[in-house]
Structure 1
Amino acid sequence: MTVSADGGVRVLVVQHEDNTGPGLVGEHVERTGVRLELVHPWAGDPMPATLDGYAGLLVLGGSPNCEDDERAPWLPRTRELIRQAVAERLPLLGICLGGQLMTVALGGSVAPRGRVPEVGAVPLRRLAGAVEDPVLGAVPDGAPAAQWHWDEITALPPGAVPLLGGDDSVHQAFRVGPVAWGVQFHPEVLGDVMAEWAESDGPNVKAAGGDPDAGVAAVRAAEPQLRAVWGASAEAWGRVVLERAAAAEEPGR
């Protein structure tokens, strides 16, 4: 059952740090009528044992490596929930760290970039798989995406459909099965959050040869496009959640 006792359609949101909330994505998913229930394991919240009662799973970004289980001991459970969502065909969206967790949980690979972190507003390329995709199919070629990542997806999970690519980090968005999406970028982020990250992680980016201030400026300049493109994609994902939840409640299913 994916509809709660009060009749609401709930999505579990795994947030890894205090400054990496659902942001723009959460705002637009909730506009569809989906209710987001955040769990903050970094602050001591217990992770659910299963996704029973939830209609979907949203896994956000964060600074831990996707296999840094000692630093973030809730990651093994997160990977288990990802596998459950895919196995049960519950809508899933993994963002940056969430997309990397999805990648490794399903048999792909992630590695440190070994070069300057990708930071700023980066144009993406539409790939053939995006043409009829229900969530990312309307993303135009060259759409900007907010980026801030030190690791990157190096091999997609077996059977994954590539949807969006980049000239630097190749694997920017993919789908596994009918309703599980992973993205390397940050569709939830706008300039103010990027500025917060620049304060905390900017010195490390500068030491690695990057320009966090230019990255923040680029994201601020791209905000109208970011709001339009990724707000629409988030609402499309929310509609998928609602459609799957309604189908699961049909008699005989």
Structure 2
Amino acid sequence: MRMTVIEHEAGAGLGYLADWLGLPCDVVRPYLGEPVPERAADGLIVLGGEAAAWEDDDHPWLPATRDLLRASVEQGVPTLGICLGAQLLTLACGGTVERGAAGLEVGACAVTALPAAEHDVLFHGIGTAVAIQYHRDAMTRLPEGAVPLLTGTQYPNQGYRLGDSAWAVQFHPEATPAIFASWTAASGVQGLDEAVAAAEPGLIAAWRPVAERFAALVKTRATVG
């Protein structure tokens, strides 16, 4: 059993997920010239990055990534899109992603479960949890049939499920405080690193179970298949 992971830049890797998933991960780095596969392995994770989901000219692997996401949804491959990955999933499946009208959402922010989350395979029991945010773009219209699961104050579409095996989250469940600090150091955003570091116990408590449930789903689907 293996996980296909699309990484868009060196500073936005698997983070916590490398340990939490407990599965071998084939990390594809298209920014280094590695080709995006046409088909995922037993599961698919598409990570975040600075690119906008529509910036194909500057990031020429994005169309192939959207194709991979669309195919994975259609084939029932367990799929998780994170931040840019969530936005690419949204575009790939007919939704809309735009520059966010509310500006940059960054730091340790609260996300709140919607009623449908209580019956979701991954997100049941979340309630209100802290999450690391770093994005300017927003999923403004979800794909047809998407089930909203998580919301927030600055941007309402924080997480959804599409079908029974694909999920998108606008925030960064994979990001450690050290990863977040590297992002702020590169961008010049100040004053948030300490709060994110203090939030680490809450980050782990909320998102480690989600990652473990996703890995369990991958194992179950692969065994049944």
Bin for the TM-score computed over the shorter chain: over 0.9
Q: CA separation in 1, counterparts of 2:38 and 2:172?
A: 27
- Letter of the structure 2 residue corresponding to residue 14 of structure 1: I
Dislocated runs of 4+, deviation >6 Å: none
- Letter of the structure 1 residue corresponding to residue 69 of structure 2: I
- Offset, 1:157: 0.7
Q: CA separation in 1, counterparts of 2:140 and 2:111?
A: 17
Residue matched to 2:82: 95
Cα deviation digits, residues 189-235 of structure 1 (max 9, x gap): 12111111011122xxxxxxxxx333322211100010121111101
Q: Which moved more, 1:223-232 or 1:107-116?
A: 107-116
Q: Does 1:197 align with 2:183?
A: yes
Residue matched to 2:6: 14
- Offset, 1:47: 1.7
Q: Does 1:241 align with 2:223?
A: no
Cα deviation digits, residues 50-82 of structure 1 (max 9, x gap): 23xx11110000000001111110110100110
Q: CA separation in 2, counterparts of 1:216 and 1:224?
A: 15
TM-score by length of 1: 0.87
> The residue matched to 1:62 in structure 2 has which SS?
coil
Q: Is the 8 A contact 1:25 1:230 kept in 2?
A: no
- Letter of the structure 2 residue corresponding to residue 45 of structure 1: E
Q: Does 1:148 align with 2:148?
A: no
Residue matched to 1:114: 101
Residue matched to 1:224: 201
- Letter of the structure 1 residue corresponding to residue 3 of structure 2: V
Residue matched to 2:73: 86
> The residue matched to 1:66 in structure 2 has which SS?
coil
Q: Does 1:178 align with 2:167?
A: no
- Letter of the structure 2 residue corresponding to residue 36 of structure 1: C
Q: Which moved more, 1:19-28 or 1:214-223?
A: 214-223
Q: CA separation in 1, counterparts of 2:18 and 2:142?
A: 25
Cα deviation digits, residues 105-151 of structure 1 (max 9, x gap): 01111111134300001111110110111111121x22000000011
Q: CA separation in 1, counterparts of 2:194 and 2:28?
A: 31
Q: Does 1:25 align with 2:17?
A: yes
Q: Is the 8 A contact 1:120 1:214 kept in 2?
A: no
Unpaired segments ≥5 residues, structure 1: 1-8, 203-211, 249-253
TM-score by length of 2: 0.97
Residue matched to 1:40: 29
Q: If you compute each CA radius of gyration, which structure gives the higher value, 1 or 2? A: 1
Q: Does 1:137 align with 2:124?
A: yes
Q: Does 1:105 align with 2:92?
A: yes
Q: Is the 8 A contact 2:148 2:159 kept in 1?
A: yes
Count of paired positions: 225
Q: Is the 8 A contact 2:72 2:78 kept in 1?
A: yes
Q: Does 1:61 align with 2:38?
A: no
- Letter of the structure 2 residue corresponding to residue 77 of structure 1: A
Cα deviation digits, residues 13-35 of structure 1 (max 9, x gap): 000001000111232012xxx21
Residue of 186, 189, 192 corresponding to 1:215? 192
Q: Does 1:159 align with 2:148?
A: no
Residue of 174, 186, 198 corresponding to 1:188? 174
Q: Is the 8 A contact 2:102 2:155 kept in 1?
A: no
What RMSD in Å do the two structures reach over aligned CA positions?
1.0
